[in-house]
Amino acid sequence: MPKPTLIRTSAGVAATALLGLTVAWLCSLLPLTGAATSSSEQLLEPRTSVTRHHAPASDADEGEGLDVEIHGIRGTEGRILIMVFDRATAYRAYDYEQSVGYAEIRPRTSTVTHHFRQLRSGPYAVVAIHDANEDYELNMQGDVPSEGYAASGAKGPYHEPSFQEAASRARHRRLAMHYLR
Protein backbone atom coordinates (compact mmCIF):
# COMPACT_ATOMS: atom_id res chain seq x y z
CA MET A 1 0.00 0.00 0.00
CA PRO A 2 1.33 3.48 -0.81
CA LYS A 3 2.60 5.53 2.12
CA PRO A 4 3.34 9.08 0.97
CA THR A 5 5.70 11.00 3.17
CA LEU A 6 4.60 13.93 5.30
CA ILE A 7 6.65 16.27 3.11
CA ARG A 8 4.97 15.04 -0.04
CA THR A 9 1.54 15.32 1.55
CA SER A 10 2.26 18.83 2.82
CA ALA A 11 3.51 19.86 -0.60
CA GLY A 12 0.34 18.45 -2.09
CA VAL A 13 -1.86 20.45 0.25
CA ALA A 14 0.10 23.62 -0.50
CA ALA A 15 -0.11 23.00 -4.24
CA THR A 16 -3.86 22.47 -3.93
CA ALA A 17 -4.30 25.76 -2.10
CA LEU A 18 -2.22 27.57 -4.72
CA LEU A 19 -4.18 25.96 -7.54
CA GLY A 20 -7.46 27.00 -5.92
CA LEU A 21 -6.40 30.62 -5.47
CA THR A 22 -5.04 30.86 -9.00
CA VAL A 23 -8.09 29.31 -10.66
CA ALA A 24 -10.48 31.45 -8.61
CA TRP A 25 -8.57 34.64 -9.40
CA LEU A 26 -8.56 33.83 -13.13
CA CYS A 27 -12.29 33.08 -13.04
CA SER A 28 -12.99 36.44 -11.38
CA LEU A 29 -11.46 38.09 -14.46
CA LEU A 30 -13.66 36.16 -16.91
CA PRO A 31 -15.79 38.33 -19.17
CA LEU A 32 -19.51 37.73 -19.10
CA THR A 33 -21.56 37.52 -22.28
CA GLY A 34 -25.14 36.59 -23.07
CA ALA A 35 -28.49 37.89 -21.77
CA ALA A 36 -28.41 40.85 -19.39
CA THR A 37 -31.12 39.66 -17.07
CA SER A 38 -32.08 36.32 -15.59
CA SER A 39 -35.46 34.75 -16.16
CA SER A 40 -36.38 35.40 -12.55
CA GLU A 41 -36.63 39.17 -12.76
CA GLN A 42 -38.61 41.76 -14.65
CA LEU A 43 -36.60 44.74 -15.82
CA LEU A 44 -38.64 47.93 -15.54
CA GLU A 45 -38.34 51.05 -17.61
CA PRO A 46 -36.07 53.25 -15.50
CA ARG A 47 -37.29 56.70 -14.55
CA THR A 48 -34.34 58.33 -16.27
CA SER A 49 -31.62 57.36 -18.70
CA VAL A 50 -29.65 54.32 -17.64
CA THR A 51 -26.27 55.79 -18.47
CA ARG A 52 -25.15 59.38 -18.61
CA HIS A 53 -21.44 59.66 -19.07
CA HIS A 54 -20.52 56.90 -21.48
CA ALA A 55 -21.01 56.41 -25.19
CA PRO A 56 -23.35 53.57 -26.20
CA ALA A 57 -21.48 50.28 -26.48
CA SER A 58 -21.03 48.68 -29.87
CA ASP A 59 -21.36 44.95 -30.62
CA ALA A 60 -17.59 44.69 -30.25
CA ASP A 61 -17.97 45.62 -26.61
CA GLU A 62 -20.03 42.53 -25.69
CA GLY A 63 -18.29 40.90 -22.75
CA GLU A 64 -17.23 44.24 -21.26
CA GLY A 65 -19.31 46.24 -18.84
CA LEU A 66 -20.32 45.84 -15.22
CA ASP A 67 -22.22 42.83 -13.98
CA VAL A 68 -24.14 43.28 -10.72
CA GLU A 69 -25.74 40.50 -8.67
CA ILE A 70 -27.85 41.25 -5.59
CA HIS A 71 -28.69 38.28 -3.38
CA GLY A 72 -30.53 37.80 -0.10
CA ILE A 73 -33.63 39.67 -1.26
CA ARG A 74 -36.70 39.07 0.89
CA GLY A 75 -40.07 38.99 -0.77
CA THR A 76 -41.21 40.05 -4.17
CA GLU A 77 -42.91 43.36 -3.40
CA GLY A 78 -41.69 46.66 -4.74
CA ARG A 79 -38.55 46.93 -6.85
CA ILE A 80 -34.81 46.73 -6.49
CA LEU A 81 -33.11 50.02 -7.35
CA ILE A 82 -29.49 49.61 -8.43
CA MET A 83 -27.26 52.68 -8.68
CA VAL A 84 -23.68 52.80 -9.87
CA PHE A 85 -21.48 55.75 -8.95
CA ASP A 86 -18.08 56.84 -10.11
CA ARG A 87 -17.76 59.85 -7.82
CA ALA A 88 -17.69 60.05 -4.03
CA THR A 89 -20.05 63.05 -3.82
CA ALA A 90 -22.79 61.35 -5.78
CA TYR A 91 -22.25 58.09 -3.89
CA ARG A 92 -22.53 59.71 -0.45
CA ALA A 93 -25.78 61.41 -1.47
CA TYR A 94 -27.29 58.21 -2.96
CA ASP A 95 -28.30 60.58 -5.76
CA TYR A 96 -29.50 58.44 -8.66
CA GLU A 97 -29.51 61.47 -10.96
CA GLN A 98 -25.74 61.60 -10.61
CA SER A 99 -25.29 57.86 -11.03
CA VAL A 100 -23.53 56.52 -14.12
CA GLY A 101 -25.68 53.41 -14.13
CA TYR A 102 -29.21 52.88 -12.90
CA ALA A 103 -31.68 50.02 -13.08
CA GLU A 104 -35.02 49.13 -11.55
CA ILE A 105 -35.88 45.45 -11.29
CA ARG A 106 -38.95 43.81 -9.85
CA PRO A 107 -37.66 40.81 -7.87
CA ARG A 108 -39.17 37.39 -8.41
CA THR A 109 -36.60 35.38 -6.46
CA SER A 110 -34.02 36.17 -3.81
CA THR A 111 -31.43 37.13 -6.43
CA VAL A 112 -31.48 39.75 -9.17
CA THR A 113 -28.79 40.48 -11.68
CA HIS A 114 -28.17 43.27 -14.11
CA HIS A 115 -25.52 43.93 -16.71
CA PHE A 116 -24.48 47.54 -17.33
CA ARG A 117 -23.04 47.07 -20.78
CA GLN A 118 -21.76 50.60 -21.14
CA LEU A 119 -19.80 50.78 -17.88
CA ARG A 120 -16.35 49.72 -19.00
CA SER A 121 -13.84 51.54 -16.86
CA GLY A 122 -14.39 52.45 -13.23
CA PRO A 123 -13.74 52.28 -10.40
CA TYR A 124 -17.42 52.00 -9.59
CA ALA A 125 -19.31 51.85 -6.33
CA VAL A 126 -22.63 50.03 -6.43
CA VAL A 127 -25.61 50.64 -4.17
CA ALA A 128 -28.95 48.86 -4.17
CA ILE A 129 -32.18 49.53 -2.32
CA HIS A 130 -35.17 47.27 -1.91
CA ASP A 131 -37.83 49.91 -2.47
CA ALA A 132 -40.75 47.87 -1.11
CA ASN A 133 -43.27 50.78 -1.09
CA GLU A 134 -42.04 52.12 -4.46
CA ASP A 135 -41.50 55.69 -3.24
CA TYR A 136 -37.95 55.82 -4.67
CA GLU A 137 -36.58 56.53 -1.19
CA LEU A 138 -34.57 54.48 1.29
CA ASN A 139 -37.03 54.73 4.17
CA MET A 140 -35.63 55.10 7.64
CA GLN A 141 -36.84 54.57 11.19
CA GLY A 142 -34.65 56.97 13.09
CA ASP A 143 -31.12 56.16 11.99
CA VAL A 144 -31.95 52.61 10.89
CA PRO A 145 -33.10 51.76 7.35
CA SER A 146 -36.51 50.14 7.32
CA GLU A 147 -36.00 48.84 3.81
CA GLY A 148 -33.34 46.55 2.44
CA TYR A 149 -30.11 48.04 1.26
CA ALA A 150 -26.84 46.80 -0.19
CA ALA A 151 -23.52 48.42 -0.94
CA SER A 152 -20.42 47.10 -2.58
CA GLY A 153 -17.53 46.75 -0.16
CA ALA A 154 -19.82 46.43 2.86
CA LYS A 155 -18.39 43.99 5.40
CA GLY A 156 -21.72 43.44 7.11
CA PRO A 157 -25.21 44.85 7.69
CA TYR A 158 -23.97 47.66 9.93
CA HIS A 159 -21.01 48.69 7.81
CA GLU A 160 -21.46 51.79 5.66
CA PRO A 161 -18.46 51.69 3.33
CA SER A 162 -16.78 54.84 2.13
CA PHE A 163 -16.55 55.45 -1.59
CA GLN A 164 -12.94 54.21 -1.49
CA GLU A 165 -14.04 50.99 0.19
CA ALA A 166 -17.02 50.53 -2.15
CA ALA A 167 -15.39 51.42 -5.45
CA SER A 168 -13.64 48.79 -7.51
CA ARG A 169 -12.71 47.99 -11.09
CA ALA A 170 -13.97 44.42 -10.76
CA ARG A 171 -16.40 43.57 -13.58
CA HIS A 172 -18.57 41.32 -11.49
CA ARG A 173 -20.02 42.67 -8.23
CA ARG A 174 -21.97 40.48 -5.83
CA LEU A 175 -23.86 42.35 -3.14
CA ALA A 176 -25.82 41.08 -0.14
CA MET A 177 -29.14 42.79 0.61
CA HIS A 178 -29.37 43.56 4.33
CA TYR A 179 -32.56 44.09 6.30
CA LEU A 180 -32.34 45.64 9.76
CA ARG A 181 -36.10 45.92 10.33
Residue 57 interacts with another protein (CB under 8 A)?
no
Residue 55 interacts with another protein (CB under 8 A)?
no
Give the strand pairing for 66-71 and 41-43: unpaired
Residue 67 interacts with another protein (CB under 8 A)?
yes
Residue 120 interacts with another protein (CB under 8 A)?
no
Q: Which residues of 86-124 are buried (b: 16+ CB within 10 A; e: fewer)?
A: bbeebbeebebebbbbbbbbebeeebbbbbbbbbeeeeb
Spatial distance between the Cα atoms of 113 and 41, rounded to a whole number of angstroms: 8
Spatial distance between the Cα atoms of 175 and 128, rounded to a whole number of angstroms: 8
Residue 140 interacts with another protein (CB under 8 A)?
no
The nearer residue to another protein, 15 or 180, going by C-beta atoms, is 15
Would you tell me which residues interact with another protein (CB under 8 A)? 1-2, 4-5, 8-9, 12-13, 15-16, 19-21, 23-28, 30-35, 38-40, 62-63, 67, 69, 71, 109, 111, 113, 115, 170, 172-174, 176
